[in-house]
Amino acid sequence: MLNQVFRWMQKQRWYVADNGVYSKLISVMGKKGQIRMAMWLFSEMRNSGCRPDTSVYNSLISAHLHSRDKSKALAKALGYFEKMKGIERCKPSIVTYNILLRAFAQARKVDQVNALFKDLEESIVSPDIYTYNGVMDAYGKNGMIREMESVLSQMKSNQIKPDAITFNLLIDSYGRRQAFEKMEQVYKSLLRSREKPTLPTFNSMITNYGKARLKDKAEAVFKKIYEMGYKPSYVTYESLITTYALCDCVSKAREIFDEMMDLKKEMHVSTLNAMLDAYCMNGLPAEADQLFEYAHKNGLLPDASTYKLLYKAYTKANMKELVQKLLKYMDNSGIVPNKKFFLEALGAFGSSRAGSESSRGATGATTQLIDKQKHSAKAT
| pLDDT of 341 | 65
- Measured CA to CA, the distance from residue 347 to residue 286 in angstroms comes to 22
CATH code for the domain in which residue 78 is found = 1.25.40.10
Return the sign of the alpha-carbon dihedral for residues 80, 84, 86, 90: positive
| Residue environment code for 82-95, b if the CB has 16+ CB neighbours within 10 A, otherwise e | eebeeeeebbbbbb
With DSSP H G I counted as helix, E B as strand and the rest as coil, what are the percentages for the chain, rounded to 5?
75, 0, 25
Flag whether pLDDT at 358 surpasses 50: no
Give the total number of structural domains in the chain: 2
Among 76, 92, 108, give the residue marking a domain's end: 92
Flag whether pLDDT at 350 surpasses 90: no
Domain coverage including residue 84: 1-92
Residue 209 · residue 217 · CB < 8 Å: yes
| pLDDT of 29 | 85
Q: CB count, 10 Å around CB of 106?
A: 19
Q: Strand, helix or coil at 336?
A: coil
Residue 182 is given by DSSP the state H
Query: pLDDT of 299-335, one tens digit each?
Result: 888 888 899 899 989 988 888 899 889 988 888 877 7
Band (352; pLDDT cuts 50, 70, 90)? very low
Q: Strand, helix or coil at 161?
A: coil
Band (363; pLDDT cuts 50, 70, 90)? low
Tell me if 187 is assigned to some domain.
Answer: no
Among 69, 92, 115, give the residue marking a domain's end: 92
Chain mean pLDDT for the chain: 86
Residue 213 is given by DSSP the state T
Residue 53 · residue 90 · CB < 8 Å: yes
Q: How far is CA 308 from CA 177, 322, 323, 330, 335, in A?
A: 28, 13, 11, 11, 11
Percent of the chain with pLDDT over 70: 83
Tell me if 331 is assigned to some domain.
Answer: yes
Cα 77–chain centre separation: 23
* Residues contacting residue 285 through CB under 8 Å, at least 6 positions apart: 279, 310, 313, 314, 317, 319, 322
Report residue 111: phi and psi, to 5°: -60, -40
Among 52, 71, 92, give the residue marking a domain's end: 92
Query: pLDDT of 96-116, one tens digit each?
Result: 999 999 999 999 999 999 999
Tell me if 275 is assigned to some domain.
Answer: no
Tell me if 56 is assigned to some domain.
Answer: yes
* Residues contacting residue 239 through CB under 8 Å, at least 6 positions apart: 203, 206, 207, 210, 218
Query: pLDDT of 3-57, one tens digit each?
Result: 555 555 555 555 555 677 778 888 888 888 888 888 888 887 887 777 889 999 9
Band (377; pLDDT cuts 50, 70, 90)? very low
Residue 138 · residue 105 · CB < 8 Å: yes
Alpha helices in 247-352 (DSSP H): 250-262, 269-281, 285-297, 304-316, 320-333, 339-346
- Measured CA to CA, the distance from residue 40 to residue 4 in angstroms comes to 13
Residue 314 · residue 322 · CB < 8 Å: yes
Tell me if 173 is assigned to some domain.
Answer: no
Band (261; pLDDT cuts 50, 70, 90)? confident
Residue 51 is given by DSSP the state P
Residue 309 · residue 322 · CB < 8 Å: no
| pLDDT of 2 | 55
- Measured CA to CA, the distance from residue 221 to residue 200 in angstroms comes to 12
Band (63; pLDDT cuts 50, 70, 90)? very high
Tell me if 272 is assigned to some domain.
Answer: no
Tell me if 323 is assigned to some domain.
Answer: yes
Residue 350 is given by DSSP the state T
Q: How far is CA 230 from CA 167, 224, 245, 256, in A?
A: 18, 9, 24, 17
Flag whether pLDDT at 152 surpasses 80: yes
Flag whether pLDDT at 198 surpasses 80: yes
Tell me if 33 is assigned to some domain.
Answer: yes
